[in-house]
Amino acid sequence: MKGRYLISAVVVVLGLLAYFYFHPSEEKKIKKQLAHLSEYASKDAGESTFALARRLDHMGALFADRVDLKAPGYELSGTHTRREIIHLAARARMAFSQMTLNFHDVSIAISGEGMAKVSTTGRLKGMSTAGKRVDEIQSLEFSLQKDSEGRWFFTAVEVVEVLKK
Amino acid sequence: MAGKEIFRRFFFPTFTPAYLLRVSILAVSAYLFFGFICIPLAIRGKSMEPAYRDGGFNFCWSLKYAFRGLERHDVVFIRLAGPRVMLLKRVVALEGEEVEFRKGRLLVDGREISEPYIRERGDWDLPPRRVEKGYVYVVGDSRRALITEQYFGQTPVGRVAGGPLW
Protein backbone atom coordinates (compact mmCIF):
# COMPACT_ATOMS: atom_id res chain seq x y z
CA MET A 1 0.00 0.00 0.00
CA LYS A 2 2.83 2.32 1.01
CA GLY A 3 4.66 1.51 -2.23
CA ARG A 4 1.61 2.42 -4.27
CA TYR A 5 1.46 5.88 -2.66
CA LEU A 6 5.14 6.37 -3.32
CA ILE A 7 4.80 5.43 -7.00
CA SER A 8 1.79 7.76 -7.34
CA ALA A 9 3.77 10.60 -5.80
CA VAL A 10 6.72 10.00 -8.14
CA VAL A 11 4.37 9.90 -11.17
CA VAL A 12 2.73 13.18 -10.11
CA VAL A 13 6.12 14.89 -9.61
CA LEU A 14 7.41 13.62 -12.96
CA GLY A 15 4.19 14.75 -14.63
CA LEU A 16 4.54 18.23 -13.18
CA LEU A 17 8.19 18.42 -14.22
CA ALA A 18 7.30 17.29 -17.76
CA TYR A 19 4.48 19.84 -17.93
CA PHE A 20 6.74 22.73 -16.90
CA TYR A 21 9.48 21.51 -19.25
CA PHE A 22 7.21 21.28 -22.29
CA HIS A 23 5.13 24.35 -21.38
CA PRO A 24 7.70 26.95 -20.31
CA SER A 25 6.37 30.20 -18.91
CA GLU A 26 6.55 33.34 -21.04
CA GLU A 27 9.31 34.65 -18.78
CA LYS A 28 11.33 31.50 -19.38
CA LYS A 29 10.86 31.86 -23.14
CA ILE A 30 12.08 35.46 -23.03
CA LYS A 31 15.08 34.50 -20.90
CA LYS A 32 15.88 31.83 -23.46
CA GLN A 33 15.86 34.46 -26.23
CA LEU A 34 18.30 36.54 -24.16
CA ALA A 35 20.49 33.48 -23.66
CA HIS A 36 20.48 32.88 -27.42
CA LEU A 37 21.37 36.52 -28.08
CA SER A 38 24.24 36.21 -25.63
CA GLU A 39 25.45 33.01 -27.29
CA TYR A 40 25.26 34.29 -30.87
CA ALA A 41 26.75 37.72 -30.10
CA SER A 42 29.75 36.19 -28.34
CA LYS A 43 32.84 35.38 -30.36
CA ASP A 44 35.41 32.65 -29.79
CA ALA A 45 39.08 33.25 -30.52
CA GLY A 46 39.86 32.09 -34.07
CA GLU A 47 36.20 31.87 -35.09
CA SER A 48 35.78 30.40 -38.58
CA THR A 49 33.85 32.16 -41.34
CA PHE A 50 31.33 29.35 -41.29
CA ALA A 51 30.74 29.73 -37.54
CA LEU A 52 30.47 33.51 -37.98
CA ALA A 53 27.82 33.17 -40.70
CA ARG A 54 25.88 30.60 -38.71
CA ARG A 55 25.88 32.72 -35.55
CA LEU A 56 24.82 35.89 -37.36
CA ASP A 57 22.09 34.01 -39.15
CA HIS A 58 20.76 32.65 -35.86
CA MET A 59 21.07 36.09 -34.28
CA GLY A 60 19.02 37.68 -37.05
CA ALA A 61 16.23 35.19 -36.40
CA LEU A 62 15.84 36.58 -32.87
CA PHE A 63 14.83 40.02 -34.14
CA ALA A 64 11.60 41.33 -35.62
CA ASP A 65 11.51 42.68 -39.19
CA ARG A 66 12.00 46.20 -37.90
CA VAL A 67 13.99 47.02 -34.79
CA ASP A 68 14.28 50.36 -32.99
CA LEU A 69 17.78 50.92 -31.75
CA LYS A 70 18.49 53.68 -29.23
CA ALA A 71 22.11 54.07 -28.27
CA PRO A 72 22.98 57.63 -27.21
CA GLY A 73 26.53 58.53 -28.09
CA TYR A 74 26.71 56.03 -30.94
CA GLU A 75 25.65 56.55 -34.54
CA LEU A 76 23.38 53.53 -34.49
CA SER A 77 20.15 55.01 -33.24
CA GLY A 78 17.13 54.62 -35.49
CA THR A 79 14.92 51.96 -36.99
CA HIS A 80 16.75 49.09 -38.66
CA THR A 81 15.72 46.09 -40.69
CA ARG A 82 16.73 42.62 -39.54
CA ARG A 83 19.43 42.55 -42.23
CA GLU A 84 20.85 45.87 -41.02
CA ILE A 85 20.95 44.51 -37.47
CA ILE A 86 22.99 41.55 -38.73
CA HIS A 87 25.38 43.92 -40.51
CA LEU A 88 25.76 46.07 -37.38
CA ALA A 89 26.44 42.98 -35.26
CA ALA A 90 28.97 41.71 -37.80
CA ARG A 91 30.74 45.09 -37.79
CA ALA A 92 30.81 45.21 -33.99
CA ARG A 93 32.14 41.65 -33.75
CA MET A 94 34.91 42.45 -36.26
CA ALA A 95 36.41 44.87 -33.73
CA PHE A 96 37.08 41.96 -31.37
CA SER A 97 39.33 38.95 -31.60
CA GLN A 98 37.33 37.34 -28.80
CA MET A 99 34.33 38.53 -26.80
CA THR A 100 31.50 37.40 -24.55
CA LEU A 101 28.21 39.18 -23.94
CA ASN A 102 26.29 38.26 -20.80
CA PHE A 103 23.08 39.54 -19.28
CA HIS A 104 22.60 39.90 -15.52
CA ASP A 105 19.82 41.17 -13.22
CA VAL A 106 17.14 40.38 -15.79
CA SER A 107 13.77 41.88 -14.94
CA ILE A 108 10.81 41.12 -17.22
CA ALA A 109 7.44 42.89 -17.44
CA ILE A 110 4.90 41.29 -19.74
CA SER A 111 1.82 43.17 -20.90
CA GLY A 112 -1.40 41.47 -21.90
CA GLU A 113 -1.06 42.21 -25.61
CA GLY A 114 1.93 40.00 -26.31
CA MET A 115 4.46 42.70 -25.51
CA ALA A 116 7.30 42.51 -23.01
CA LYS A 117 9.89 44.89 -21.59
CA VAL A 118 13.18 43.55 -20.29
CA SER A 119 15.60 45.54 -18.14
CA THR A 120 19.01 44.01 -17.74
CA THR A 121 22.68 44.64 -17.20
CA GLY A 122 24.76 43.81 -20.25
CA ARG A 123 28.42 42.95 -19.72
CA LEU A 124 30.75 42.78 -22.70
CA LYS A 125 34.15 41.30 -22.02
CA GLY A 126 36.84 40.49 -24.49
CA MET A 127 39.91 41.47 -26.43
CA SER A 128 39.86 44.00 -29.26
CA THR A 129 41.71 43.24 -32.49
CA ALA A 130 44.16 45.96 -31.40
CA GLY A 131 44.99 43.82 -28.35
CA LYS A 132 43.15 46.01 -25.84
CA ARG A 133 41.23 44.32 -23.04
CA VAL A 134 37.58 45.41 -23.00
CA ASP A 135 35.20 45.14 -20.05
CA GLU A 136 32.07 47.26 -20.55
CA ILE A 137 28.90 47.28 -18.50
CA GLN A 138 25.69 48.96 -19.65
CA SER A 139 22.13 49.13 -18.47
CA LEU A 140 19.97 47.83 -21.33
CA GLU A 141 16.28 47.73 -22.09
CA PHE A 142 14.75 45.39 -24.64
CA SER A 143 11.23 45.35 -26.04
CA LEU A 144 9.87 42.08 -27.36
CA GLN A 145 6.74 41.09 -29.23
CA LYS A 146 5.09 37.67 -29.41
CA ASP A 147 3.92 36.33 -32.75
CA SER A 148 0.87 34.16 -33.38
CA GLU A 149 2.94 31.00 -32.78
CA GLY A 150 4.03 32.18 -29.35
CA ARG A 151 7.62 33.07 -30.29
CA TRP A 152 9.20 36.23 -28.88
CA PHE A 153 11.17 38.63 -31.10
CA PHE A 154 13.23 41.66 -30.15
CA THR A 155 11.59 44.83 -31.48
CA ALA A 156 13.67 47.47 -29.68
CA VAL A 157 17.02 47.75 -27.94
CA GLU A 158 17.96 50.73 -25.81
CA VAL A 159 21.23 51.52 -24.11
CA VAL A 160 20.15 53.45 -21.01
CA GLU A 161 22.01 56.71 -20.79
CA VAL A 162 23.07 57.19 -17.17
CA LEU A 163 25.34 60.18 -17.72
CA LYS A 164 24.55 62.79 -20.35
CA LYS A 165 27.37 65.17 -21.25
CA MET B 1 38.14 28.26 32.97
CA ALA B 2 35.52 30.85 32.03
CA GLY B 3 37.54 31.76 28.91
CA LYS B 4 37.70 28.12 27.92
CA GLU B 5 33.94 27.82 28.32
CA ILE B 6 33.32 30.91 26.18
CA PHE B 7 35.66 29.51 23.52
CA ARG B 8 33.84 26.17 23.55
CA ARG B 9 30.40 27.77 23.37
CA PHE B 10 31.52 30.08 20.53
CA PHE B 11 32.99 27.38 18.29
CA PHE B 12 30.87 24.41 19.37
CA PRO B 13 27.48 25.89 20.25
CA THR B 14 24.51 23.92 21.45
CA PHE B 15 21.75 24.22 18.86
CA THR B 16 18.98 25.37 21.14
CA PRO B 17 15.91 27.22 19.73
CA ALA B 18 17.18 30.44 21.30
CA TYR B 19 20.56 30.03 19.60
CA LEU B 20 18.97 29.35 16.19
CA LEU B 21 16.73 32.40 16.62
CA ARG B 22 19.75 34.59 17.43
CA VAL B 23 21.63 33.27 14.38
CA SER B 24 18.58 33.84 12.15
CA ILE B 25 18.15 37.42 13.38
CA LEU B 26 21.85 38.07 12.84
CA ALA B 27 21.77 36.62 9.31
CA VAL B 28 18.69 38.64 8.28
CA SER B 29 20.14 41.83 9.81
CA ALA B 30 23.46 41.31 8.01
CA TYR B 31 21.66 40.67 4.72
CA LEU B 32 19.59 43.85 5.05
CA PHE B 33 22.49 45.97 6.29
CA PHE B 34 25.08 44.88 3.73
CA GLY B 35 22.54 44.39 0.94
CA PHE B 36 20.73 47.74 1.13
CA ILE B 37 22.28 50.14 3.65
CA CYS B 38 26.03 49.66 3.61
CA ILE B 39 26.81 47.87 0.34
CA PRO B 40 30.36 46.50 -0.09
CA LEU B 41 31.87 47.42 -3.46
CA ALA B 42 35.15 46.82 -5.24
CA ILE B 43 36.53 49.86 -7.04
CA ARG B 44 37.58 49.23 -10.62
CA GLY B 45 38.95 51.89 -12.92
CA LYS B 46 41.08 54.97 -12.48
CA SER B 47 38.56 57.76 -12.99
CA MET B 48 38.58 58.79 -9.30
CA GLU B 49 42.31 58.63 -8.72
CA PRO B 50 44.11 59.71 -6.61
CA ALA B 51 41.30 59.82 -4.00
CA TYR B 52 40.04 56.30 -4.80
CA ARG B 53 42.51 53.84 -6.29
CA ASP B 54 41.81 51.16 -8.87
CA GLY B 55 41.45 47.83 -7.04
CA GLY B 56 40.35 49.48 -3.81
CA PHE B 57 37.42 48.58 -1.62
CA ASN B 58 34.70 50.65 -0.02
CA PHE B 59 31.08 50.62 1.11
CA CYS B 60 28.20 52.54 -0.43
CA TRP B 61 26.55 54.26 2.55
CA SER B 62 23.01 54.65 1.26
CA LEU B 63 21.80 56.77 4.21
CA LYS B 64 24.34 59.51 3.49
CA TYR B 65 21.74 61.69 1.75
CA ALA B 66 18.75 60.63 3.81
CA PHE B 67 18.87 63.83 5.85
CA ARG B 68 20.77 66.24 3.63
CA GLY B 69 20.94 67.12 -0.05
CA LEU B 70 23.83 66.72 -2.44
CA GLU B 71 26.53 69.36 -2.37
CA ARG B 72 29.29 70.30 -4.75
CA HIS B 73 32.45 68.17 -4.33
CA ASP B 74 30.51 65.27 -2.77
CA VAL B 75 31.73 61.87 -3.97
CA VAL B 76 28.76 59.70 -4.85
CA PHE B 77 27.88 56.25 -6.08
CA ILE B 78 25.57 56.31 -9.11
CA ARG B 79 23.58 53.23 -10.07
CA LEU B 80 24.78 52.23 -13.53
CA ALA B 81 23.20 48.85 -14.04
CA GLY B 82 21.50 46.40 -11.70
CA PRO B 83 21.77 46.77 -7.93
CA ARG B 84 25.54 46.29 -7.61
CA VAL B 85 27.16 48.04 -10.57
CA MET B 86 27.80 51.67 -9.75
CA LEU B 87 29.85 54.59 -10.94
CA LEU B 88 31.98 56.48 -8.45
CA LYS B 89 32.03 60.17 -9.38
CA ARG B 90 32.25 63.65 -7.86
CA VAL B 91 29.42 66.17 -7.99
CA VAL B 92 30.67 69.38 -9.60
CA ALA B 93 27.41 71.19 -10.35
CA LEU B 94 23.85 71.12 -9.04
CA GLU B 95 20.50 71.58 -10.79
CA GLY B 96 20.04 74.88 -12.55
CA GLU B 97 23.76 75.66 -12.61
CA GLU B 98 25.71 76.21 -15.79
CA VAL B 99 28.80 74.03 -16.03
CA GLU B 100 31.71 74.20 -18.45
CA PHE B 101 35.38 73.28 -18.81
CA ARG B 102 37.90 75.73 -20.24
CA LYS B 103 41.45 74.46 -20.77
CA GLY B 104 40.90 71.94 -17.97
CA ARG B 105 39.48 74.49 -15.51
CA LEU B 106 35.99 73.86 -14.13
CA LEU B 107 33.61 76.82 -14.32
CA VAL B 108 30.18 76.89 -12.73
CA ASP B 109 27.94 79.85 -13.62
CA GLY B 110 31.01 81.45 -15.16
CA ARG B 111 33.11 81.30 -11.96
CA GLU B 112 36.15 79.07 -11.67
CA ILE B 113 35.76 76.36 -9.05
CA SER B 114 38.76 75.24 -7.03
CA GLU B 115 39.33 71.50 -7.22
CA PRO B 116 42.11 70.62 -4.76
CA TYR B 117 41.51 66.88 -5.24
CA ILE B 118 42.80 66.95 -8.82
CA ARG B 119 46.35 65.82 -9.50
CA GLU B 120 46.51 66.34 -13.28
CA ARG B 121 44.13 68.88 -14.72
CA GLY B 122 44.33 68.04 -18.44
CA ASP B 123 43.09 70.43 -21.13
CA TRP B 124 39.40 69.66 -21.31
CA ASP B 125 37.15 72.05 -23.20
CA LEU B 126 33.41 71.68 -22.85
CA PRO B 127 30.95 74.38 -23.91
CA PRO B 128 28.61 75.65 -21.17
CA ARG B 129 25.47 73.61 -20.45
CA ARG B 130 22.78 73.98 -17.82
CA VAL B 131 22.09 71.13 -15.42
CA GLU B 132 18.44 70.10 -15.71
CA LYS B 133 15.99 70.13 -12.81
CA GLY B 134 16.34 66.98 -10.70
CA TYR B 135 19.84 66.29 -12.03
CA VAL B 136 23.42 66.77 -10.82
CA TYR B 137 26.57 67.00 -12.92
CA VAL B 138 29.25 64.48 -12.02
CA VAL B 139 32.85 64.05 -13.18
CA GLY B 140 35.75 61.82 -12.20
CA ASP B 141 38.81 63.30 -10.48
CA SER B 142 41.26 61.94 -13.03
CA ARG B 143 41.33 64.30 -16.00
CA ARG B 144 44.43 62.84 -17.66
CA ALA B 145 42.49 61.10 -20.44
CA LEU B 146 40.94 62.89 -23.40
CA ILE B 147 37.52 64.38 -22.72
CA THR B 148 36.01 62.06 -25.35
CA GLU B 149 37.28 59.01 -23.47
CA GLN B 150 35.86 60.02 -20.10
CA TYR B 151 32.42 59.02 -18.87
CA PHE B 152 30.81 61.98 -17.15
CA GLY B 153 27.77 64.21 -17.34
CA GLN B 154 24.46 64.93 -15.72
CA THR B 155 22.49 62.19 -14.03
CA PRO B 156 19.13 62.11 -12.24
CA VAL B 157 19.43 62.63 -8.47
CA GLY B 158 17.36 59.46 -8.09
CA ARG B 159 20.27 57.44 -9.45
CA VAL B 160 22.54 58.50 -6.61
CA ALA B 161 22.70 55.44 -4.39
CA GLY B 162 24.79 57.02 -1.62
CA GLY B 163 28.35 57.95 -0.85
CA PRO B 164 31.51 56.04 0.02
CA LEU B 165 31.98 55.30 3.70
CA TRP B 166 35.50 56.81 3.66
Q: Which domains does chain A have, with CATH numbers?
A: 26-159 (3.10.450.50)
Tally of domains within chain B: 1
Mean pLDDT, chain B, as a whole number? 92
Looking at the domain assignment, is residue B6 inside a domain?
no
Over residues B108-135, the mean pLDDT reads 93
Over residues B5-27, the mean pLDDT reads 90
The CATH number given to whatever domain includes residue B90 is 2.10.109.10
pLDDT at A73: 72
Over residues A152-159, the mean pLDDT reads 95
pLDDT at A9: 81
- Per the structure, the complete domain to which residue B59 belongs is given by 38-164
Over residues A71-99, the mean pLDDT reads 88
CB contact under 8 A, A163 and B85: no
Percentage of chain B beyond pLDDT 90 is 75
Question: Has residue A48 got a pLDDT over 90?
Answer: no
Question: Has residue A143 got a pLDDT over 70?
Answer: yes
Using pLDDT thresholds of 50, 70 and 90, give the confidence band for residue A140: very high
pTM over 0.80? The answer is: no
Beta strands of chain B (E only): which ranges? 38-42, 57-61, 75-81, 85-93, 98-102, 105-108, 111-112, 126-130, 135-139, 153-156, 160-164
Question: Has residue A18 got a pLDDT over 70?
Answer: yes
Question: Has residue A76 got a pLDDT over 90?
Answer: no
Question: Has residue A1 got a pLDDT over 70?
Answer: no
Looking at the domain assignment, is residue B86 inside a domain?
yes
CB contact under 8 A, A163 and B83: no
Residues 6+ apart with CB under 8 A from B92: B72, B73, B99, B106, B108, B113, B115, B137, B138, B139
pLDDT at B1: 58
Q: Which of A104, A163, A165 is closest, CB to CB, to B82?
A: A104
Looking at the domain assignment, is residue B26 inside a domain?
no
pLDDT at A7: 82
Cβ neighbours of B78 in A, within 8 Å: 162-163
Cβ neighbours of A121 in B, within 8 Å: 81-82, 85
Looking at the domain assignment, is residue B7 inside a domain?
no
Looking at the domain assignment, is residue B131 inside a domain?
yes
Selected residue of B54, B84, B85 to mutate for chain A interface (largest A Cβ count, 10 A): B85
Cβ within 8 Å of A, B 12-31: none
Residues 6+ apart with CB under 8 A from A6: none
Percentage of chain A beyond pLDDT 70 is 97
Looking at the domain assignment, is residue B138 inside a domain?
yes
Q: Kindly state whether B153 is in contact with chain A, defined as any CB-CB distance less than 8 angstroms.
A: yes
pLDDT at A11: 81
pLDDT at B160: 95
Give residue-wise pLDDT tens across range B31-77. 999 999 999 999 998 899 999 999 999 999 999 999 999 999 999 99
Using pLDDT thresholds of 50, 70 and 90, give the confidence band for residue A28: very high
| A16 Cα to chain B: minimum distance (Å) | 33
| A161 Cα to chain B: minimum distance (Å) | 9
Cβ neighbours of B126 in A, within 8 Å: 165
Cβ within 8 Å of A, B 83-142: 83, 85, 87, 89, 126, 129, 138
Give residue-wise pLDDT tens across range B144-160. 888 888 889 999 999 99
Over residues A127-140, the mean pLDDT reads 89
CB contact under 8 A, B81 and A121: yes
pLDDT at A137: 87
3-state secondary structure of B155: strand
Cβ neighbours of A105 in B, within 8 Å: 81-83
CB contact under 8 A, B83 and A122: no
Over residues B17-42, the mean pLDDT reads 95
Looking at the domain assignment, is residue B30 inside a domain?
no
Give residue-wise pLDDT tens across range B88-114. 999 999 999 999 999 999 999 999 999
Looking at the domain assignment, is residue B122 inside a domain?
yes
Using pLDDT thresholds of 50, 70 and 90, give the confidence band for residue A22: low
